[in-house]
Structure 1
Amino acid sequence: MATVMQDLYADRVARGSIDPDPAQEAVLPEFERIFEALERPPKRGLFRRAPEPPRGLYLWGGVGRGKSMLMDIFAGALTVPARRVHFHAFMQEVHQGMTEARARGVDDAVKPVAKAISDEVRCLAFDEMQITDITDAMIVGRLFEQLFGAGVVVVATSNRPPDDLYKDGLNRALFLPFIDLLKERMVVWELSGATDHRQNRMAGSPVYFTPADAEARARIAAIWEGLTGGETAPLTLRVKGRDVILPEFHNGVARARFFDLCGQPLGPADYLAIAETVRVLVLEDIPRLSRSNFNEAKRFVTLIDALYEAKVRLIASAAAEPESLYVEGEGSFEFARTASRLREMMSHGWGRAEG
């Protein structure tokens, strides 16, 4: 007998919005298990205890396997109070809540934050769970313990298995109980299909457009719509006390203009944070580079280095081909390395467009 998740998945296949994938179909019963438990009406009776919440789901896997798409189907079908949120944005909200609690004189700032969340939702659906910051690492264990204790069900996607979270991080031994907690309260499932669906959506499509004119904007807009479905919101990354804003973001795909990222006083740590957070970056309106915008050019080089090393997929519009972007002025000779990297990043199959 078909289930809600199977029906919704089959409908997307029938409409041609996704291709059938056995690995995706295999995990649907796990989503259905959680969906049925959350949506089941409570039994009435004065002395009836609330049912135990179901174990959540930790869905991890590699490039473009459809993790976020499956989460879309699941979260969109829920009628109980639930929240779908990128994990990095969620942790920023947690830090803000804790700061406000401390300002009120609260000793244990995690407790009111966890209570506020559990009072609001029965299910948290996280995109791209990752822990790279020691502050987050020291908070999440206590936070999630209280969320689980309050009956909140967590469903999360990630690019890595639980045992690799905060890998090689400072004081990682203090983080290990959190990994054990995840394994206890969530089913860990690897989505290991052979098909990279996101790369397939980009297959055969140019990823570098010049000149940066109306035609380039229209073609990038079409790619953006295909990758995100038009569902985007700004994402703020907190880096060493500064806010780094990605104007548009959805499921690991970000969109910004050259000035947003290179016209601001950002540095290597900011670009590393961006590279750790996004899997595809759409960067528009890259100008010609010269003495007149030397600082912006230096930042652009640093940004491209960070994206290249992290294997982030780049889609860009620019005033000229990579080799002709920076042809005069201080730094033009060194830019040859950046141009070479840009050319390599334009090749089909380059990068790790996760999702």
Structure 2
Amino acid sequence: MTTAEKVSRRKLSLLDLAADLSNVSRACKLMGYSRQQFYEIRRNYQTYGSAGLVDRLPGARGPHPNRVEEAVEQAILDHCLAHPSHGPVRVAHELMLKGVQVSSGGVRGVWSRHSLLSKHERFLRLEKSVREQAFELSDEQIRVLERFSPEFRERHIETKHTGDLVAVDTFFVGTLKGVGKVYLQSVIDCYSRYAWGRLYTNKLPVTAVHVLNEDVLPFFEKHNARISTVLSDNGREFCGRPDNHPYELFLQLEEIEHRTTKVRRPQSNGFVERLHRTLLDEHFRIMGRTKWYESLDEMQADLETYLKTYNYNRPHQGRNMLGRTPYTVFIDGLPKNDDSDTEDYKLAA
């Protein structure tokens, strides 16, 4: 119940009490009203009924008789939305040319009711109106948003099961004295984060094919799983003419779809990029300062030892990993109708 309703009931109780006691003075004394207030309340009740018992605030008597019509008010609001910098005199003259008769004072009255008296408030109304409009983005605008908007940059690659998407990349490790440049061909299953890696002295299509053929595909076959899609950048070792490029031909023979990232957008292949950072921080930068390598085989042996720890014993803190090891997630992510052999996991444990 509102305050106005409570006051109305109290006034009605005053009138009923005076009628029951047949004594106005005694009823006013008991209810805390003066005789003048009693007669005013009774007069309003006899004239307007129960509506006369409601207290009316000063000025709350309906619209002013000189208030502009609704059509004129809407025309003023539409004009100031299109031209927020115009003053009241300019608006009155502009509307007069359109057949709308209104004075500058009438324009200011409309602005006052809608809190548009200042030019700044009218510009804010224009900005709000434009912001609420819905429009379709062109392909170019979408590309710009994806490049600069944090909302688009924070999107994640979604995978459904083990082998749904495998990311590959070539990483320059450094230069080994007596050997030359050393490159890492890295592969990671995006669902489980299970990783493979081999070191080479060049980055050619044959090395990219070699790591898949020797390490990755046999591991998937051992667990009765298959790779659906491979994601790579646009490097020459991965991309070329499908009819004569070794990597493209190998993926076609294995019936694996090949996707590529956007040019100069390494974030599109974020899983393997994050793997490279982990390898740098936890393996290469440490081993490079504690051991003197003389051959590529020595580096490969230490890398395989670390990858075994990474895949089977190291809790992973990545998205949706929940501290589990990559091999555990690899097994859990296999399709339900596939029977996987967990002998290597038992040996590692």
- The alignment's TM-score, normalised by the length of structure 2, stands at 0.23
Q: Which has the larger radius of gyration?
A: 2
Query: Larger relative contact order (C-alpha < 8 A, sep ≥ 6)?
Result: 1
Richer in strand (by share) = 1
Richer in helix (by share) = 2
